[in-house]
Amino acid sequence: MRAIVCEQVDQLRLVEQEEPVLQPGTAIVRIRRIGICGTDLHAYKGNQPFFTYPRVLGHELAGTVEQIDSSLQGSIKVGDQVSIIPYMHCGSCIACRNGKTNCCTDMQVLGVHIDGGMRELIAVPVTHLLVANELTLDQAAVLEPLSIGAHAVRRAELRAGETVLVIGSGPIGLGVMAFAKHRGARVIAMDIQEERLAFCKQWARVDETVHALQGAKERLAELTNGEYPTVVFDATGNARSMTDAFGLVAHGGKLVYVGLVKAELSFSDPEFHKREMTLMGSRNATIEDFAAVLTAVKSGSIDVDRFMTHRVPFAEMIDHFDSWLKPETKVIKAMVEL
Give me the chain's average pLDDT, please.
94
The amino acid at 245: A
Q: What is the pLDDT of residues 240-254, one digit of tens each?
A: 999 999 999 999 999
Q: What is the pLDDT of residues 289-328, one digit of tens each?
A: 999 999 999 998 888 888 899 999 999 999 999 999 888 8
Residue ranges with strand state E in 171-273: 186-191, 208-211, 231-234, 254-257
Q: Calculate what percentage of the chain has a pLDDT beyond 70.
A: 100
Strand partners, 62: 33, 83
Cα 275 → chain centroid: 29
Q: What is the pLDDT of residues 269-294, one digit of tens each?
A: 998 999 999 999 999 999 999 999 99
Q: Is 232 in contact with 255 (CB distance < 8 Å)?
A: yes
16 by Cβ neighbours in 10 Å (0-12 / 13-18 / 19+) ranks as: exposed
Confidence of residue 50 (pLDDT cuts 50, 70, 90): confident
Which letter, b or e, does each residue of 136-172 get, where b requires 16 or more Cβ atoms within 10 Å of its Cβ? ebbbbbbbbbbbbbbbbbbbbebeeebbbbbbbbbbb
C-alpha distances (whole Å) from 260 to each of 116, 221, 234, 239 are 19, 27, 9, 9
Residues 6+ positions from 158 with CB-CB distance below 8 Å: 164, 180, 183, 185, 231
Asked if the model's pLDDT at residue 38 lies above 90, the reply is no
Q: What is the pLDDT of residues 98-148, one digit of tens each?
A: 999 999 999 999 999 999 999 999 999 999 999 999 999 999 999 999 999
Whole-number Å distance between alpha carbons of 242 and 231:
14
The amino acid at 55: R
H helix intervals, 29-170: 38-45, 94-97, 137-141, 143-155
Over residues 144-155, mean pLDDT: 97
Look at residue 218 in the predicted model and tell me its pLDDT.
96
Residues 6+ positions from 142 with CB-CB distance below 8 Å: 35, 60, 171, 297, 304, 307, 308, 333
Weakest-pLDDT range from 9-18, 89-98, 227-236, 297-306: 297-306
Q: In what order do the strands lie in the sheet with 278-281?
A: 208-211, 186-191, 163-167, 231-234, 254-257, 278-281
Whole-number Å distance between alpha carbons of 33 and 56:
15
Asked if the model's pLDDT at residue 31 lies above 90, the reply is yes
Whole-number Å distance between alpha carbons of 297 and 192:
28
Residues 6+ positions from 44 with CB-CB distance below 8 Å: 6, 9, 10, 12, 57, 321, 325
Look at residue 72 in the predicted model and tell me its pLDDT.
75
The amino acid at 187: V
C-alpha distances (whole Å) from 306 to each of 193, 202, 204, 302, 332 are 18, 10, 11, 10, 9
Over residues 162-190, mean pLDDT: 96
Query: Phi first, then psi: what are they for 336, rounded to 5°?
Result: -105, 135
Look at residue 138 in the predicted model and tell me its pLDDT.
96
Q: Is 190 in contact with 212 (CB distance < 8 Å)?
A: yes
Q: Is 2 in contact with 338 (CB distance < 8 Å)?
A: no
Confidence of residue 6 (pLDDT cuts 50, 70, 90): very high
Q: Calculate what percentage of the chain has a pLDDT beyond 90.
A: 87
Q: Is 64 in contact with 32 (CB distance < 8 Å)?
A: yes
- Domains and their CATH numbers in the chain: 2-142+308-337 (3.90.180.10), 149-281 (3.40.50.720)
Asked if the model's pLDDT at residue 74 lies above 80, the reply is no
Asked if the model's pLDDT at residue 42 lies above 90, the reply is no
